Amino acid sequence: MKKKILVGLITAGALLNLAACGSSNGSSSSSSSSSDKALSGKIIAGGSTALQPLAQQSSTEFMAKNTGVQVTVQGGGSGVGLTQVADGSFQIGNSDIFAEEKSGIDASAITDHKVAVVGFAPIVNAKIDVKNLTSQQLQDVFTGKVTNWKDVGGSDQKITVIGRIESSGTRVNFDKFALGGATEVKGPTQDASGSVVQMVGQTPGAISYVALSYVDTSKDIKDISIDGVEPTEVNVVTNDYKVWSYEHMYTNTKKETAADKAFIKYVAENNKDIKKLGYIPISDMKVERDADGNITKK
């Protein structure tokens, strides 16, 4: 009888030890798994200045949640973003245009991640008394055919067209969808959206264009309608207002890391900041647009 009790106690003890070992191993495994999932690395996300406010705000929040990752956001224009991510200088290339639209870029070597949609609006100095231009009037102004506001319904004042550098994705989209591919008149240019807003606000008679995320009436500028259609989110999602694009974050297909993909996912899902900063969630769009500009309804 005693022998049976002793055997039972030994067996129970052995089972307890096995359970403890199993619990210890499970804890170790869980700890290891958690450690394996911790992100680390350095990310340079550069290019589009239209996307810069969203990328910058998202990077601050992302780094607070992922302390092992350092994200640096830069401007320079969409062309710079595409070129630098293709050659490996940037981990993420921010762009307002498809890679297929940029000459000299092997689009098959980089991966497109669409994170938002943004509209682009003509902006004028706040003292300009014009609220709307037809597509033809807009083209005439930006090509230099019309040089005085009185010829398009405004006061007698010289028009100063402020352009963008050729690597600007904002320029590519505006020229393509607002100007019908027309060539802009030569004149003063700016390489960043913030600089454009500042210059238009300080220059009497000035006109230019920026992403809606930069339209701030407190900066002595205002947007104007095209063909009677206001540049608003409501009009962009239906393509009633046609001057818009996707905001892309490209990665180098062979070099992309878990941290790169996690940051891009965070930006794309950051609907709070997307809406707050003047962008549009892709899920809100009623249409889709391809690299050739073709529109299809969802």
Q: List the CATH number of the domain containing 77.
A: 3.40.190.10
CA angle 95, 260, 262 (to 5 degrees): 110
The Cα 115–Cα 178 span in angstroms is 23
Do 125 and 97 have their domain in common? no
182-239 per-position pLDDT tens digit: 999 999 999 899 999 999 999 999 999 999 999 998 899 999 999 999 999 999 999 9
Identify residue 198 by its one-letter amino acid code: Q
Q: How far is CA 219 from CA 47, 124, 168, 216, in A?
A: 24, 11, 22, 6
The answer as to whether 285 is a domain residue is yes
Do 93 and 149 have their domain in common? no
The Cα 40–Cα 171 span in angstroms is 35
The answer as to whether 68 is a domain residue is yes
The answer as to whether 124 is a domain residue is yes
The answer as to whether 1 is a domain residue is no
Do 189 and 261 have their domain in common? no
Do 133 and 228 have their domain in common? yes
The answer as to whether 15 is a domain residue is no
Range of the domain at 192: 120-237
Helix (H) or strand (E) holding 199: helix 193-202
- Percent pLDDT > 70 in the chain is 88
pLDDT of 19 strictly over 60: no
Q: What is the pLDDT of residue 236?
A: 98
Q: What is the pLDDT of residue 10?
A: 38
How high is the mean pLDDT of the chain?
90
What are the structure tokens assigned to 82, written together? 């595409």
- How many domains is the chain partitioned into structurally? 2
3-state secondary structure of 55: helix
Do 128 and 89 have their domain in common? no
The answer as to whether 23 is a domain residue is no
124-154 per-position pLDDT tens digit: 999 999 999 999 999 999 999 999 999 999 9
262-276 per-position pLDDT tens digit: 999 999 999 999 999
The answer as to whether 4 is a domain residue is no
Q: What is the pLDDT of residue 31?
A: 35
Q: What global pTM score does this model have?
A: 0.84
- Percent pLDDT > 90 in the chain is 85
Do 130 and 200 have their domain in common? yes
Q: Which of 192, 215, 237 is the last residue of a domain?
A: 237
Q: Which of 237, 252, 281 is the last residue of a domain?
A: 237
Q: What is the pLDDT of residue 136?
A: 98
The Cα 221–Cα 273 span in angstroms is 23
Looking up tokens 């401007």, which residue turns up? Answer: 75
The answer as to whether 8 is a domain residue is no
Do 194 and 227 have their domain in common? yes
Look at strands 244-252 and 287-289 and give their pairing: unpaired
Q: What is the pLDDT of residue 235?
A: 98
Q: Considering only residues 79 and 27, tell me which one the structure prediction assigns the higher pLDDT.
A: 79
Do 67 and 139 have their domain in common? no
Do 112 and 124 have their domain in common? no
Do 46 and 100 have their domain in common? yes
Q: What is the pLDDT of residue 167?
A: 87
Do 136 and 225 have their domain in common? yes
Banded model confidence at residue 67, pLDDT cuts 50, 70, 90 = very high
89-131 per-position pLDDT tens digit: 999 999 999 999 999 999 999 999 999 999 999 999 999 999 9
Do 204 and 251 have their domain in common? no
Q: Which of 208, 237, 266 is the last residue of a domain?
A: 237
